[in-house]
Amino acid sequence: MLKMDVIRLIVFVCCMMLLQTGRANSSGCSDVNFVQRSTWGASSPRSTTSLAGNLDYYIIHHTADGGSCSTQNACSRRVRGIQNHHKNNERWNDIGYNFLIGGDNRVYVGRGWNNQGAHAPSYNSRSIGISMIGNYVSAQPSSGMMTALENLRQCGVDLGKVKSGYHACGHSDFSSTLCPGSALRSLVNGWGRCDR
């Protein structure tokens, strides 16, 4: 009997430890389905510039390189193509965006939370740039993509990378560009968080 009690106690303690571990990992980021660079097949950046935490801005873009993508394979191929274009044609050090969101509702890690992007001149050091894969001049991103975008924004706050009172704007709120497309821009401005 005593032996059974000891075994029960051990099982109980182990279960509690597992529960605690699960809790420690479940910030707002647990809702975000990240695809890391090694998974989508990124090439190495030529160089990186660190990005401070506690940032003021999220800046939303679209990739404008065609329709959306619906599988991890197809979205990964698109992200690799964008990285090639940014490195080889634009001559940037890496893919310009911090993150990209696919029609598969996954979040593809570009420069991530800790490295400065190349997506909005004079705001790159103060913002996280997120690009929705597809063209949103007339069509809106799917509700799944918008939910992924919402979860990603909260994740940045939970990690202390972005201020809880952050501003969120479309690229065209800062420069003369069609990006992120008027359909997406009106959704972004509907959040009421764009204050420059």
Residues from 169 through 188 that contact Zn ion (CB under 5 A): 171, 179
Number of residues that bind Zn ion (CB under 5 A): 3
Q: Among residues 37 and 171, whose Cβ is nearest to Zn ion?
A: 171
The dihedrals phi and psi of 87, each to the nearest 5 degrees, come to -80, -40
* Shortest CB 171 distance to Zn ion, Å: 3
Q: Among residues 114 and 175, whose Cβ is nearest to Zn ion?
A: 175
Residues from 64 through 123 that contact Zn ion (CB under 5 A): none
CB burial readout 167-181, b (16+ within 10 A) else e: bbbbbbbbeeeebbb
Q: How far is CA 171 from the centre of its chain?
A: 15
What are the angstrom distances between the C-alpha of 188 and each of 66, 101, 173?
20, 15, 10
The dihedrals phi and psi of 66, each to the nearest 5 degrees, come to 120, -165
Q: Among residues 61 and 86, whose Cβ is nearest to Zn ion?
A: 61
* Shortest CB 37 distance to Zn ion, Å: 21
Q: Among residues 73 and 84, whose Cβ is nearest to Zn ion?
A: 84
Q: Contact positions toward Zn ion, by CB under 5 A?
A: 61, 171, 179
